[in-house]
C-alpha cells in the first residue's frame, strides 16, 4: 500500500496521526509537483526559475499550474506597500497578490486565479475556521499534521482545479526562516505521501563572487543547502545564481556536498533579460532533468515544442535586435524602486520588441516638477507615461507633466491614477473648472471630477472597497482606442482603483473635446479617455492597469501604441534635425 492508499483507507478518524484532507476528485499520480526553495538570500528569482521551468514544460504540451506560498500573515498583498514589497499584482478574479504572479502570467501566457496564491494568513484562517466548526474531531490542533495538512490540501485543490500534469510550488522566503519552516515541512510530507517520482525538489542558491578574491565561493550555498537537508528535503536539482557562469569546481563542490549529481547542478547566471532564462535552462538540460525525475516522458508532445520554442526565440531575437532607441519618461512617485513598477517595465519590453524599439525609461520624480521646469525636464522624452498611484504626493507635478504632454503634442499614456490626473488636467485647463481635483487629494475641491461613488460601488456589490480584477471595457467605434484594439467591441482589462470619473462632469468634459472611448458596459464608469487624433498625435489614458495583461507574445496594444507614437516623434525630430543641418549648410 502506498502512503496515499493507507490514508484513503483510514479516512478522517481520530485514531490516526495522519491528517491529510483530500479534495474531491483528486487523482493520485495524475499531478506531479516541482517545489522550488530559496537558500542563502531572498531576491534571487525563485519565481523566475519556477516560471521558466513551468514554461519549458508547457512548451512540451504539459498542463502546468504554478502556486506561490507566501510565509506572511496578510490574507493577500492588498495592503502591502509597493515601496517595500514591489508592485501589488491583481489577477482577473480580483485577488491582490505578489508580483511573482505577474511573472507567471507573462511567462506562461496563462491567466491565474486565487488558487495560485496562498499566504500563511489564508492557511491559518482556514485552520481556525475548521477548528471552530469542530472539524478536527476533538483533536488538539497542531502545526503538524493540521496546518501542514491544509498546505497539502491547497496544493491538491489546485491540482484538481487545473487538472495539471505538473504543479509548480514556489515557497516564499529563504530556507531557515521561521515563517516558511512549516511550508517546507508540508512539501516534504507531500513527496512522502505521493510516492517516488512524484515530486521534484529544486534548490535555488547563490554563489558569492567577492571582488577582492576574484573567484567564486560556494560556502554560503553549501550552508543554505545543508539547512534544507536538515529539514529532511534532499534536493534533486540545484540551480546556482551567480553573476558569471558557475565554474565546474564550484559545481563539483556543491554536488559532493548535497548528493546532487553533477549534471543536475545548473548555473543560472545573470543575463540581459529574464526572457532569456528559459532558453539558458533548456540549453543546460534542466527541462529534461525534471521530465526524467518525474517520469513524464510519455506525456511530452515534442511536435508542439518546436513551434512554441521558435515563437519564443523570435521574440527574444526581436528584443535584442531593436535598433532604434526611444526614451519614455515615467512620471511617478516610487521612482527609486523599480520593483514597484515591474509590470510597466515589462509591458514596455514587450511593446518595444513588437514595434522594433529599445525603450529606455527615464524615471521622473514629479515632486519637484513645476510649470517653469517641465519643458526642460521632459525635453528628451519621446513619450510620457503617468502610472498608477495613491495619495497626494507628486500629484501636482504629474498634472503639470500631462499638461505639457497635451499642449506640446508629446505622446502620452495615462494608467489608472494617470488617467484620473489627465481628467483633472483637462478639467482645469480646458474646461476652466478652477481647482478641479480628486477627492483623494482634496476633500474640499469645488469640482470633484474624480470621486468615490458609493452608490455605484453598491450596484457592483463591492461596498466601499476597491474595484478589483478583470472587467469588460466597451469601446466606442471610430476612436483611437477602437483602432488600437483592432475594432473589437469589448476588451477585458484589469482594475485596481477606488476613485473614478464623477458622471456629472462627463458631459462638460466631452463637450470640451475629451473623448471617453472606453466605458463599463452596464455602469457609467469611464475606463478609457483620449483626445481626437487631429488634435494630438497620441493622447490616451485608461483607468485599467493595461500593463498587467501585457504578455511577451501578446503585448498590450496601448503600450504598443505609445511606443509607436514615440518612434514617430523620434523620426520627426531626426528629420527636423537633418533639415536644420541642411538649412544651416545652405545658408552658410
Ligand atoms: N488612487 C487611485 C484610486 O484609488 C488610483 C489607484 C491606482 O492607480 N491603482 O482610484
User: Is the pLDDT reported for residue 183 higher than 50?
Assistant: yes
Question: What pLDDT score was predicted for residue 334?
Answer: 59
Residues 265-308 pLDDT 10s: 999 999 888 888 999 999 999 999 999 999 999 999 988 898 99
Nearest to 202 by CA among 181, 173, 233, 223: 233
Using alpha carbons, list the distances in angstroms from residue 457 to 221, 438, 454, 468: 51, 17, 5, 11
- Give me ligand 1 centre to Cα 320, in Å: 34
Average pLDDT over residues 251-260: 96
Residue in 157, 425, 440, 547 annotated catalytic: 547
Question: What pLDDT score was predicted for residue 281?
Answer: 94
Question: What pLDDT score was predicted for residue 11?
Answer: 59
Q: Is 376 a catalytic residue?
A: no
- The residue whose CA has the least distance to atom 1 of ligand 1 is 390
Q: Is 547 a catalytic residue?
A: yes
User: Is the pLDDT reported for residue 453 higher than 80?
Assistant: no
Residue 496 CA: nearest ligand 1 atom is 9
Kindly report which listed range (187-196, 265-274, 371-380) carries the lowest average pLDDT score.
Answer: 265-274
Protein residues with CB under 6 Å of any ligand 1 atom: 388-390, 416-417, 440, 496-499
Q: How confident is the model at residue 460 (pLDDT cuts 50, 70, 90)?
A: low
Question: What pLDDT score was predicted for residue 69?
Answer: 97
Average pLDDT over residues 556-562: 98
Question: What pLDDT score was predicted for residue 459?
Answer: 52
User: Is the pLDDT reported for residue 2 higher than 80?
Assistant: no
Question: What pLDDT score was predicted for residue 14?
Answer: 56
Taken as a whole, the chain contains a residue count of 588
Q: List all residues 6 or more positions away from 207 whose beta carbon is below 8 Å from its beta carbon.
A: 216, 217, 218, 221, 240, 241, 242, 246, 250
| Domains of the chain by start residue, with CATH | 31-315 (3.40.50.300), 322-570 (3.40.50.880)
Nearest to 474 by CA among 527, 415, 538: 527
Considering the chain, what is the average pLDDT of its residues?
A: 92
Residues 389-410 pLDDT 10s: 988 888 999 999 999 999 999 9
pTM of the model: 0.93
Mutational test site, ligand 1, from 390, 423, 439, 456, max ligand atoms within 8 Å of CB: 390
- Give me ligand 1 centre to Cα 440, in Å: 9
- Give me ligand 1 centre to Cα 339, in Å: 18
Q: How confident is the model at residue 463 (pLDDT cuts 50, 70, 90)?
A: very low
- Give me ligand 1 centre to Cα 164, in Å: 35
Nearest to 412 by CA among 548, 421, 24, 510: 421
Residues 474-517 pLDDT 10s: 999 999 999 999 999 999 999 999 999 999 999 999 999 999 99
- The residue whose CA has the least distance to atom 6 of ligand 1 is 497
User: Is the omega angle on the peptide bond into residue 145 within 30 degrees of 0, that is, cis?
Assistant: yes
User: Is the pLDDT reported for residue 77 higher than 80?
Assistant: yes
- Give me ligand 1 centre to Cα 424, in Å: 14
The alpha helices in 465-556, defined as continuous H runs, are 480-484, 506-511
- The residue whose CA has the least distance to atom 8 of ligand 1 is 388
Mutational test site, ligand 1, from 343, 414, 416, 464, max ligand atoms within 8 Å of CB: 416
User: Is the pLDDT reported for residue 545 higher than 90?
Assistant: yes
User: Is the pLDDT reported for residue 178 higher than 80?
Assistant: yes
- The residue whose CA has the least distance to atom 5 of ligand 1 is 417
Question: What pLDDT score was predicted for residue 464?
Answer: 46
E strands, 403-538, are 412-415, 437-438, 448-451, 467-475, 490-497, 500-501, 515-519, 526-530
Residues 214-246 pLDDT 10s: 999 999 999 999 999 999 999 999 999 999 999
Residue 450 CA: nearest ligand 1 atom is 10
Mutational test site, ligand 1, from 94, 343, 388, max ligand atoms within 8 Å of CB: 388
Residue in 200, 240, 381, 416 annotated catalytic: 416
Question: What pLDDT score was predicted for residue 325?
Answer: 97
Kindly report which listed range (134-148, 180-194, 471-485, 497-511) carries the lowest average pLDDT score.
Answer: 134-148
Residues 148-177 pLDDT 10s: 999 999 999 999 999 999 999 999 999 999
3-state secondary structure 385-397: EECCCCCCCCHHH
Neighbours of 145 (CB within 10 A): 19
Q: How confident is the model at residue 455 (pLDDT cuts 50, 70, 90)?
A: low
Average pLDDT over residues 564-572: 96
Question: What pLDDT score was predicted for residue 133?
Answer: 93
Q: Is 416 a catalytic residue?
A: yes
Supply the angle between the helices 302-321 and 46-59 in degrees, to the nearest 10. Answer: 130
Amino acid at each position: 500500500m502506498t502512503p496515499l492508499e493507507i490514508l484513503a483507507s483510514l479516512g478522517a478518524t481520530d485514531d490516526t496521526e495522519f491528517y491529510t484532507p483530500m479534495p474531491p476528485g483528486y487523482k493520485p499520480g495524475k499531478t506531479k509537483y516541482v517545489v522550488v526553495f530559496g537558500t542563502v538570500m531572498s531576491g534571487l528569482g525563485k519565481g523566475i526559475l519556477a516560471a521558466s521551468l513551468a514554461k519549458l514544460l508547457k512548451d512540451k504540451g504539459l498542463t502546468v499550474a504554478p502556486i506561490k506560498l507566501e510565509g506572511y500573515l496578510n490574507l493577500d498583498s492588498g495592503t502591502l506597500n509597493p515601496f517595500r514589497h514591489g508592485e501589488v499584482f491583481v489577477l482577473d478574479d480580483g485577488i491582490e497578490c505578489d508580483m511573482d504572479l505577474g511573472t507567471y502570467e507573462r511567462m506562461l501566457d496563462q491567466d491565474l486565479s486565487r488558487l495560485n496564491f496562498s499566504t500563511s494568513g489564508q492557511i491559518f484562517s482556514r485552520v481556525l475556521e475548521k477548528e471552530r466548526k469542530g472539524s478536527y474531531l476533538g483533536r488538539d490542533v497542531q502545526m503538524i499534521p493540521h496546518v501542514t495538512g491544509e498546505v497539502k490540501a491547497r496544493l491538491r485543490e489546485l491540482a484538481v482545479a487545473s487538472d495539471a500534469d505538473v504543479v509548480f510550488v514556489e515557497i516564499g522566503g529563504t530556507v531557515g526562516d521561521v515563517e516558511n519552516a512549516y511550508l517546507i515541512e508540508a512539501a516534504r510530507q507531500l513527496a512522502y505521501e505521493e510516492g517516488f517520482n512524484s515530486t521534484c525538489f529544486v534548490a535555488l542558491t547563490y554563489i558569492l563572487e567577492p571582488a577582492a578574491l576574484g573567484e567564486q565561493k560556494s560556502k554560503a550555498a553549501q550552508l543554505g543547502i545543508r539547512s534544507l537537508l536538515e529539514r529532511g528535503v534532499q534536493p534533486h536539482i540545484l540551480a546556482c545564481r551567480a553573476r558569471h557562469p558557475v565554474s565546474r569546481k564550484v559545481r563539483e563542490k556543491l554536488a559532493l556536498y548535497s548528493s546532487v549529481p553533477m549534471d543536475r547542478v545548473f548555473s543560472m547566471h545573470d543575463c540581459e533579460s529574464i526572457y532569456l532564462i528559459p532558453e539558458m535552462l533548456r540549453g543546460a538540460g534542466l527541462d529534461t532533468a525534471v521530465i526524467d525525475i518525474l517520469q513524464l516522458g510519455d506525456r511530452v508532445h515534442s511536435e508542439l515544442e518546436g513551434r512554441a520554442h521558435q515563437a519564443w526565440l523570435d521574440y527574444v531575437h526581436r528584443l535584442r535586435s531593436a535598433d532604434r532607441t526611444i526614451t519614455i519618461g515615467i512620471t511617478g512617485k516610487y521612482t527609486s524602486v523599480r520593483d514597484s513598477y515591474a509590470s510597466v517595465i515589462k509591458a514596455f519590453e514587450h511593446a518595444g520588441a513588437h514595434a522594433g524599439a529599445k525603450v529606455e525609461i527615464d524615471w521622473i520624480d514629479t515632486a519637484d516638477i513645476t510649470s517653469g521646469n517641465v519643458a526642460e525636464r521632459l525635453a528628451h522624452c519621446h513619450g510620457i507615461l503617468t502610472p498608477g498611484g495613491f495619495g497626494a504626493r507628486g500629484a501636482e507635478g504629474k498634472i503639470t507633466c500631462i499638461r505639457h504632454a497635451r499642449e506640446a503634442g508629446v505622446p502620452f499614456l495615462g494608467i489608472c491614477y494617470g488617467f484620473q490626473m489627465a481628467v483633472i488636467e483637462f478639467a482645469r485647463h480646458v474646461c476652466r473648472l478652477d481647482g478641479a481635483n480628486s477627492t483623494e487629494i482634496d476633500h474640499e475641491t469645488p469640482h470633484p471630477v474624480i470621486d468615490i461613488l458609493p452608490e455605484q460601488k453598491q450596484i457592483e456589490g463591492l461596498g466601499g472597497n476597491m474595484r478589483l480584477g478583470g472587467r469588460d471595457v466597451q469601446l466606442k467605434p471610430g476612436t483611437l482606442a477602437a483602432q488600437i484594439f483592432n475594432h473589437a467591441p469589448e476588451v477585458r482589462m484589469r482594475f485596481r482603483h477606488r476613485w473614478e470619473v464623477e458622471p456629472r462632469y462627463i458631459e462638460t468634459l466631452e463637450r470640451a473635446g475629451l473623448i471617453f472611448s472606453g466605458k463599463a458596459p452596464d455602469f457609467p464608469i469611464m475606463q478609457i479617455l483620449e483626445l481626437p487624433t487631429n488634435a494630438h498625435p497620441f493622447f490616451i489614458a485608461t483607468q485599467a492597469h493595461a500593463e498587467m495583461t501585457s504578455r511577451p507574445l501578446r503585448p498590450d496594444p496601448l503600450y504598443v501604441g505609445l511606443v509607436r507614437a514615440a518612434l514617430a516623434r523620434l523620426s520627426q525630430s531626426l528629420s527636423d534635425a537633418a533639415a536644420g543641418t541642411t538649412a544651416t549648410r545652405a545658408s552658410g
